[in-house]
Chain A
């Protein structure tokens, strides 16, 4: 009789475990319970598009050089997506189609390389670095031993 009670108890635990797992799956937004297309509730206004047009704004920079050079757009794994002729001294916009699953691209203009975040189909590439503490070096003089010049009172 005692064995029977233990067995019932074990079965009860087993059933409740199964039941709990199923319940948590249905609540987990990262797991689908659909096993066929007929189970999927698709919003009437869903357009099924997997790409969108992205526009990257490129403000001009006050530089001496006025040549046209190539701006390269790459995926984050370094795959070349497109090249565009851009003059640094003129405002520019570059547009291209991008999979909606890609939210960041690499934009290169010669040795100027930026990661550009795309939000709502728009991004900004700036030639000029934002000033930060690393450029403000006059308050923290750096001494290179090789650069030291002995002080000689004249």
Chain B
């Protein structure tokens, strides 16, 4: 089996602009893969032609038997007139430089035809039909030279043209049942089709990589930033999801999950190797259905403090009771921990005074929160699974050693472990099982990963608001994993704030 020869060339232009071209020369197709779809993927185009490996159609033998085979070239009668059958095969777009050859083998599969021809034309990059470069008439008269159309013919057409063209082979036939067969096509020229853009012709040197990060500008989310090419959004572009808390831990709450409701949106930058270079986390406090002056932070699970080059937070955290290292992570931790705010009251603007914040109509407090933006830059590109690293937690009422995490997360090194397994808490800590759950595995925090959580009003148990929540939890997460989205029969909207 012949193999494709793949050449790469990179041309360095003046200044900081790298221009690269990927060439394949020659362009070959022997159909030995036996799959027309693979040829199509490489921008070959078929019309009444298939890739077949039947013995009677073959030009070669064994594993090299597959070939391009036309339909029966019988011709048709249309409105009382006779017309040729046509079948066509198009090569991919190829950049020719006026040298070399276009070679291929062809024949008819049997001699039952009456009139059969094979022609080849050039098609230019604008799709215009160009000149005929080849014609062969299959002679069905055995007494004439080349009289047997089933004899394999080997052709070699000198390339005398330059520029980007595709070659169009056309079979014509009338009478009989003959099929055209073609194989072992070799085209001296640079492959210039783009299989990822509907096989359109591409001009060489189409890959401009301005920042030199290995990603062409049109395949680079950050064409002027040499550190990154790709992006991952949690939960999706321009969308927030939510972590919602009960904040009385280790005491039991009322399960309205609105003591603190924090929306989060994250944009992860990744380099050409898909390693994470930086993250922008955005947080909005939607509700505070409790009076505690809770802080909020998050650990980056599996990431050492030294893996973080810098952290910037806007608006800045006051740092009254937390100690922050020079790179922006909290001091005294073995994993990187970032304190987003120390007291939620520092980031909200009240439009109506009250003890609570956006959980209670009437005499409850109302207002809006800043969007706190946290930018984390890593000292070396990281390979963690995005979103798995994110371990958000409340700091209970300004007590730095009292944290409240999601059940499968935490605590950090600064949490006071003597508070675990007191009051209602039954955390497994280092044993198998959840942290921050009670003896019945009921949590103090939930995470709605797909979209922002529309949280219950004050004191409304989540089960009276979200009718599928209990079914999800009691089924071990099998039923209704989408319990929090707005679907008919899923919720009582009148109990949502």
Q: Which single residue of chain A is at the shortest CB-CB distance from B75?
A: A151
Instruction: Determine whether the beta carbon of B232 is less than 8 Å from that of A82.
Output: yes
Instruction: Determine whether the beta carbon of A83 is less than 8 Å from that of B231.
Output: yes
Q: Check A153 for interface membership: any CB of B closer than 8 A.
A: yes
Please name the 9 residue pairs, one residue from A and one from B, whose CB atoms are nearest each other, closest first. Answer: A110-B196, A101-B482, A97-B387, A79-B236, A34-B470, A82-B232, A37-B255, A151-B82, A64-B24
Instruction: Determine whether the beta carbon of B236 is less than 8 Å from that of A49.
Output: no
Chain B, residues 406-425, CB within 8 Å of chain A (1/0): the string is 11100000000000000000
CA distance A124 to B216 in the complex (A): 26
Interface residues of chain B, those whose CB is within 8 Å of chain A, are 4, 6, 8, 22, 24, 27, 33, 35-38, 40-42, 46-50, 52, 69-72, 75-76, 78, 81-87, 92, 115, 137, 172, 174, 179, 191, 193-198, 207, 214-216, 219-221, 229-237, 239, 255, 270, 272-274, 385-388, 406-408, 433-434, 437, 440-443, 446-450, 461-464, 467-471, 473-474, 476-477, 479, 481-482, 485, 489
Q: Chain B nearest CB: distance from A4 CB in Å?
A: 40
Can you sample 25 A-B contacts with CB below 8 Å? A30-B489, A31-B467, A35-B464, A40-B473, A42-B441, A48-B406, A50-B447, A50-B449, A50-B477, A62-B4, A65-B196, A68-B215, A70-B215, A96-B232, A97-B388, A110-B194, A112-B195, A128-B41, A130-B37, A135-B40, A137-B49, A138-B50, A141-B85, A143-B76, A149-B172
Q: Which single residue of chain B is at the shortest CB-CB distance from A112?
A: B196
Q: Check A94 for interface membership: any CB of B closer than 8 A.
A: yes
Instruction: Determine whether the beta carbon of A67 is less than 8 Å from that of B41.
Output: no
CA distance A101 to B232 in the complex (A): 19
Collect the chain B residues with CB atoms within 8 Å of residue A110's CB: 194-197
Q: Which single residue of chain A is at the shortest CB-CB distance from B236?
A: A79
Instruction: Determine whether the beta carbon of A45 is less than 8 Å from that of B69.
Output: no
Collect the chain A residues with CB atoms within 8 Å of residue B40's CB: 129, 135
The A interface, classified by DSSP as helix, strand, loop or mixed, is loop
Instruction: Determine whether the beta carbon of B195 is less than 8 Å from that of A53.
Output: no
Q: Chain A nearest CB: distance from B147 CB in Å?
A: 16
Most buried by B among A65, A85, A95: A65
Q: Check A39 for interface membership: any CB of B closer than 8 A.
A: yes
Query: Known contacts A80-B233, A101-B485; is A64 also within 8 Å of B191 by CB?
Result: yes
Query: Known contacts A42-B440, A83-B221, A138-B179; is A48 also within 8 Å of B233 by CB?
Result: no
Query: Known contacts A44-B441, A84-B274; is A37 also within 8 Å of B41 by CB?
Result: no
Instruction: Determine whether the beta carbon of A137 is less than 8 Å from that of B48.
Output: yes
Query: Known contacts A37-B442, A61-B41; is A82 also within 8 Å of B463 by CB?
Result: no
Collect the chain A residues with CB atoms within 8 Å of residue B447's CB: 48-51
Q: Check A66 for interface membership: any CB of B closer than 8 A.
A: yes
Collect the chain A residues with CB atoms within 8 Å of residue B406's CB: 48
Instruction: Determine whether the beta carbon of A99 is less than 8 Å from that of B449.
Output: yes
Instruction: Determine whether the beta carbon of A85 is less than 8 Å from that of B230.
Output: yes
Collect the chain B residues with CB atoms within 8 Å of residue A64's CB: 4, 6, 24, 27, 42, 92, 191, 193
Instruction: Determine whether the beta carbon of A67 is less than 8 Å from that of B84.
Output: no
Interface residues of chain A, those whose CB is within 8 Å of chain B, are 29-32, 34-37, 39-51, 53, 61-70, 75, 79-85, 88-89, 94-97, 99-102, 109-112, 127-131, 135-143, 145, 147-151, 153-154
CA distance A42 to B472 in the complex (A): 9
Instruction: Determine whether the beta carbon of A100 is less than 8 Å from that of B231.
Output: no
Collect the chain A residues with CB atoms within 8 Å of residue B75's CB: 151
Instruction: Determine whether the beta carbon of A43 is less than 8 Å from that of B231.
Output: no
Q: Chain B nearest CB: distance from A92 CB in Å?
A: 9
Collect the chain B residues with CB atoms within 8 Å of residue A139's CB: 50, 71
Query: Known contacts A99-B450, A100-B477, A111-B197; is A131 also within 8 Å of B36 by CB?
Result: yes
Contact of A39 among B270, B388, B470 (CB under 8 A): B470
Contact of B216 among A32, A40, A67 (CB under 8 A): A67
Instruction: Determine whether the beta carbon of B441 is less than 8 Å from that of A32.
Output: no
Q: A81-B232, A84-B270, A138-B70 are in contact. List 13 more A-B contacts (CB 8 A).
A: A40-B470, A40-B473, A41-B474, A61-B41, A64-B27, A65-B195, A68-B219, A69-B216, A95-B385, A97-B234, A110-B195, A128-B38, A135-B37
Instruction: Determine whether the beta carbon of A48 is less than 8 Å from that of B446.
Output: yes
Instruction: Determine whether the beta carbon of A151 is less than 8 Å from that of B115.
Output: yes
Instruction: Determine whether the beta carbon of A75 is less than 8 Å from that of B482.
Output: no
Q: Which single residue of chain A is at the shortest CB-CB distance from B235?
A: A99
Query: Known contacts A29-B479, A127-B41, A137-B46; is A37 also within 8 Å of B174 by CB?
Result: no
CA distance A136 to B485 in the complex (A): 44
Instruction: Determine whether the beta carbon of A97 is less than 8 Å from that of B385.
Output: yes
Instruction: Determine whether the beta carbon of A138 is less than 8 Å from that of B4.
Output: no
Instruction: Determine whether the beta carbon of A85 is less than 8 Å from that of B48.
Output: no
Instruction: Determine whether the beta carbon of A63 is less than 8 Å from that of B215.
Output: no
Query: Known contacts A31-B467, A43-B441, A109-B196; is A79 also within 8 Å of B237 by CB?
Result: yes
Collect the chain B residues with CB atoms within 8 Å of residue A41's CB: 440, 474
Instruction: Determine whether the beta carbon of A37 is less than 8 Å from that of B461.
Output: yes
Contact of B408 among A34, A35, A47, A153 (CB under 8 A): A47
